Amino acid sequence: MTKVVDAEAIRQAIERLPLFSPNALQLLQVIADPDHELEDVIRIVKFDSVLTMRVLKVVNSPVYGLVNEVTSIDRALSYLGERMVVSIAVQDNAGQLLNKPLEGYLGEQGALWRHDLFSAIASREVARYARGDFDLDLAFTGGLLHDIGKSIFSDFWKEVAQDALSQIDEGMVADYLMAEQDLAGLDHTEVGYRMARHWQMPEALQRVILHHHHPAEAPDWVQPLVYAVHLGDIVSMMAGCDTGSDGLQYHLDTGYREFFNLSPNALAEIVLNAQEEFSRARESLTN
């Protein structure tokens, strides 16, 4: 079958993407370093006046109901956690991409941001059940970026999106990712991976983006993280927070059991906790 998506045009669209600000990139690098401390994040925020203002605005959002206004970054960070700073930085640097309507997935404006934010929170909740040590904020960050490739892929995909659904309905392909591969010759994970490389993101995040639907293919050193996001993504879709027509059209790789001790009760708890945090985070970030 001839490929209907112009891979060269996708490559050019990625090349044209503006880079992340040096501070935002540094923040992602710090988060990806397992030995980092909260102090390192605080230092980056304090160095960046725009980020400082945004963080203070979020922590003083009525959603959190704090009685006294928070004016220090140290206090704001200990209250919000590193993950909210990451959310703000990603929103500031990739907000336009994350808020585009996803026509190729029949997703309305904001659907990608909602799905990524919910997946981020759910991935972090999953990571709390890890059998070994786990960096929860890195799981969150991976979840937040995992589907970034859809923002560009969607534009090239909209002509054939219907064919993908028919392929799945007719059982010609096993899941949505295979439909993308079959019709386009590449899929949203590869596009996202190339975007992350263009942005020079830490390798762990590049790997999460590339392997999130096939975590077993990730290198060993990053597999637990990729599995956390793989599950967080599915939980997000199960909770109805998908990006449109591809919702729940992917396989669950049960290999996660090697890394996480998840009973059915734990899964229910993850969904509940994620829903609660999601509504707060979403509101505080939009105000």
Stretch touching Fe ion by CB under 5 A, among 9-17, 106-114, 228-236, 262-270: 228-236
Nearest residue (CB) to Fe ion, 125 versus 147:
147
Q: Can you tell me which residue has the tokens 């990524």?
A: 116
With CB under 5 A as the contact rule, the residue among 233, 247, 274, 281 that binds Fe ion is 233
Q: Are 20 and 92 in contact (CB under 8 A)?
A: no
Q: Is 246 in the site for Fe ion (CB under 5 A)?
A: no
The smaller minimum CB distance to Fe ion, of residues 147 and 277, is found at 147
- Toward Fe ion, which CB reaches closer, 153 or 259? 153
Q: Which is nearer to Fe ion, 41 or 126 (CB)?
A: 126
The least CB distance from residue 246 to Fe ion, in Å, is 8
Options 61-69, 89-97, 101-109, 233-241: segment touching Fe ion (CB under 5 A): 233-241
Q: Which region, judged by CB under 5 A, interacts with Fe ion, from 44-52, 144-152, 220-228, 261-269?
A: 144-152
Instruction: For Fe ion, give the closer residue by CB, 82 or 147.
Output: 147
Residue 233 Cβ vs Fe ion, minimum distance, rounded to whole Å: 4
Stretch that binds Fe ion, among 28-36, 85-93, 141-149, 215-223 (CB under 5 A): 141-149
Q: Decide whether 113 or 199 has the Cβ nearer to Fe ion.
A: 113
Q: Which of residues 94-123 bind Fe ion (CB under 5 A)?
A: none
Question: Which of 231, 218, 147 shows the shortest CA–CA distance to 189?
Answer: 147
How many binding residues for Fe ion (CB under 5 A)?
Answer: 2
**Min dist. Cβ of residue 195 to Fe ion (A):** 13
CB of residue 277 vs Fe ion: minimum separation in angstroms? 18
Distance of CA 128 to the CA centre of its chain: 17
Q: Which is nearer to Fe ion, 70 or 161 (CB)?
A: 161
Minimum separation from the CB atom of position 234 to Fe ion (A): 8
Q: What is the DSSP string of the chain?
A: ----S-HHHHHHHHHTSPPPPHHHHHHHHHHH-TT--HHHHHHHHHH-HHHHHHHHHHHTSGGG--SSPP--HHHHHHHH-HHHHHHHHHHHHHHHHHHS-BGGGTBPTTHHHHHHHHHHHHHHHHHTTBSS---HHHHHHHHHHTTTTHHHHHHHHTTTHHHHHHHHHTTSSSSHHHHHHHHHSS-HHHHHHHHHHHTT--HHHHHHHHHTT-GGGS-GGGHHHHHHHHHHHHHHHHTT---STTTT-S---GGGGGTB---HHHHHHHHHHHHHHHHHHHHHHH-
Q: Among 147, 180, 187, 277, which residue sits at the site for Fe ion (rule: CB under 5 A)? A: 147
Q: Which residues bind Fe ion (CB under 5 A)?
A: 147, 233
